Amino acid sequence: MCGIVGYIGHRQAAEVILHGLSQVEYRGYDSAGMAVSDGRGMRIIKDVGKLRDIHAKHNFLSLEGGIGLGHTRWSTHGPPCERNAHPHYDCSKKVAVVHNGIIENSRALKAELEKKGHKFTSDTDTEIVAHLIEEELKGKKSSSDSILSAVRSSISRLEGAYALGILVSGEPRLFLARRHAPLIIGKGKKEEMFFASDMAALLGYTRDFVLLNEGDLAALDAKGMQIWSADGSPAVRSPLHVDWTPQMAQKMGHDYFMLKEILEQPLTLAAAVSADVADGVKLLAGAKRPAVVACGTSYYAGLVLQYLLHRQKRTASAYLGSEYASWHTGAEDVVVAISQSGETADTLSAVRLAKKEGAKVLAITNVVGSTLSREADATLYISVGPEVGVVATKTFTGQLAVIYKLAYSLSSNKKGLEELAAMPSQVQQMLDEVHEPVHHLAKLMSKRKNFFFISRGIGWPCALEAALKLKEITYLHAEAYAAGELKHGPISMLEDKVPVIAIAPSGALAPKMESNMRECHARGASIIVLSDDKTILSEGEHSLAMPKVSEDFVPLFYILPLQLLAYYMTIELGRDPDQPRNLAKSVTVE
């Protein structure tokens, strides 16, 4: 969601912040800004729009100094506009604050501060933090100690979620604090320190990080950091080195990250299938009531895990993170939480609830050091490298690969594990074969307005994911149904030439799928069929021949051409597949 970058050291802070923020642009934002201090005074530039446009208009690099912080904002409190963009400041413009998250008691605090004469210039919850610090400093001699204690007592009054960066004019340190929102410290090679909401922002400068714990407060100067835990006691947090390189987050000659990330799946799958799942097997082997929690695309991967566990006669229920509180029984003993970012607030709140009730948590994520990985009892990493496109592609198949490995290791299914190991090269071959036909199909389909995706059994989560991909980036209407459900209502929406995309592999479910396709055809729908079977393929007005794979692997295989279809339709429609409107890469609010 919003991006934060901070710097203190020998370089021009504005340069580092501008670069760092540009690396997290993919998260989606509507306005941006930065505050820079030269050790004496502080200047702020902020505006609505994209970084490059704001830079062209105001020149961020005119802000001189080696201490600064910046922000890309995705509106929650108040519309996108200059005054709501971060950094926010106090009445005297001496305290600048950037913030991700939501401060839940901001109304009460604002009313209290207004009574004391503070004048607010924005609609945001963030601005109260700057005024709280100003209020705490009133009547005190400005010193490093008084500033630290003002920051500490102001933060102690906040309820809700925050990753905060604070710059006080004349103060040679930056302050940061986090609670229920990601924030990491980066260590430079010589006398420079960084902080950011996302490692990707700092990969151009460092791969050595320190992760803050929930409730931590930290102060950075060029030489290092001081950290205090939530109870105020000094704390040491262990360092972390990551292998991700800045090149991994480049387009590598492709027009969009999404296409690069779709096409690199043979490679990322190879990384994911070599995941060490031993800790997960240990946890699940003894579980009596396992549950799965996740959101969006990760939830559809969770449905595949539910399916595989059921096939092993393990009763597991998959819950949407946001719904878990309404459905949990308290008897779940192991909760598998799936999240590519590891920062999704809905998933994290389900995890916290399950933990409170005594469940162990197994995380499946892509991000080392993410909040989920740190709150879980064990973590399985999908290791697919940074996913820059806002919509999930390679992280979905990476999650599936780890899920297959986990399930097959649990049931000692040697054949399944062997088939899984062969997936990356089979996927490469299939991508080579379907790429052009899908591109052609996308040209035809981009003229249509409504889409249905149908399948059965383990193909159903694939239909759900394919419909989600299509609607997220084309903004066209798409719905997915378990094929047997059509006749219970949605079939009434079928009329002349409405495309029904059928995921219809051969196998036990094929005859019923064929009847469902015929039902649709009889209502005038245009059938687009994906199958490995010639007879089934002949049922479609358009068809895409797929290689034969075991039933379990249908979601992993069939989603790839459908990701490509969504991508090329978006290009045909002249839309941006990397940064779809209203969407953010990690959703850190409930």
Q: State the residues that interact with ligand F6R by CB under 6 A.
A: 295-298, 339-341, 344, 347, 391-392, 468, 472, 586-587
Minimum distance, C-beta of residue 29 to ligand F6R, in the bound complex (Å): 16
C-alpha distance from residue 282 to each of 330, 358, 377, 378, 409 (Å): 21, 17, 11, 10, 10
E strands in 93-173? 95-100, 162-168
Minimum distance, C-beta of residue 114 to ligand F6R, in the bound complex (Å): 36
Minimum distance, C-beta of residue 15 to ligand F6R, in the bound complex (Å): 30
Nearer to ligand F6R, 344 or 474 (CB): 344
Q: Which residue has the tokens 């998250």?
A: 101
Nearer to ligand F6R, 559 or 587 (CB): 587
295 assigned to active site: no
Structure tokens at 73: 């904002």
Nearer to ligand F6R, 343 or 533 (CB): 343
Could you give the angle at the alpha carbon of 132 between the alpha carbons of 128 and 134, nearest 5°? Answer: 115
Nearer to ligand F6R, 298 or 531 (CB): 298
Sign, CA dihedral 90-95-100-105, equals negative
Nearer to ligand F6R, 176 or 587 (CB): 587
Q: Residue 521: CB partners within 8 Å, gap ≥ 6?
A: 527, 539
The alpha carbon torsion through 277, 282, 288, 290 (nearest 10 deg) reads -30
Nearer to ligand F6R, 514 or 578 (CB): 578
Phi and psi, residue 182, nearest 5°: -75, 140
Of 314, 280, 289, 299, the closest CA to residue 405 belongs to 280
Could you give the angle at the alpha carbon of 466 between the alpha carbons of 536 and 520, nearest 5°? Answer: 45
Give me the catalytic one of 2, 295, 462, 520: 2
Query: Cis bond leading into 290, ω under 30°?
Result: no
As a whole number of angstroms, the distance between CA 415 and CA 412 comes to 9
Name the residue number minimizing CB distance to ligand F6R: 296
Q: What is the DSSP letter of 451?
A: E
Amino acid 25 reads E
Give me the catalytic one of 46, 110, 260, 585: 585
Nearer to ligand F6R, 100 or 344 (CB): 344
Amino acid 121 reads T
Q: Residue 115: CB partners within 8 Å, gap ≥ 6?
A: none
3-state secondary structure of 369: coil
Nearer to ligand F6R, 26 or 408 (CB): 26
Q: Which residue has the tokens 């599936």?
A: 400
Phi-psi region of 78 (alpha: psi -120 to 50; beta: other; left: phi over 0): left
Strand partners, 89: 96
For residues 142-152, b (16+ Cβ closer than 10 Å) or e, as one string?
eeeeebbebbb
As a whole number of angstroms, the distance between CA 373 and CA 379 comes to 6
Check if the beta carbon of residue 322 is closer than 8 Å to that of residue 590.
yes
Structure tokens at 308: 């595989």
Amino acid 572 reads E
Of 329, 324, 327, 330, the closest CA to residue 348 belongs to 324
Nearer to ligand F6R, 206 or 344 (CB): 344
As a whole number of angstroms, the distance between CA 566 and CA 278 comes to 36
Amino acid 183 reads L
Minimum distance, C-beta of residue 396 to ligand F6R, in the bound complex (Å): 8
Minimum distance, C-beta of residue 57 to ligand F6R, in the bound complex (Å): 32
Check if the beta carbon of residue 236 is closer than 8 Å to that of residue 218.
no
Q: How many CA atoms lie within 13 A of 283 on its CB side?
A: 24
Q: Residue 99: CB partners within 8 Å, gap ≥ 6?
A: 2, 4, 71, 86, 88, 125, 126, 129, 162, 163, 164, 165
Structure tokens at 234: 């000094």
As a whole number of angstroms, the distance between CA 146 and CA 136 comes to 9
Nearer to ligand F6R, 392 or 562 (CB): 392
585 assigned to active site: yes
Q: Which residue has the tokens 């996308």?
A: 442
Q: Could you list the active site residues?
A: 2, 585
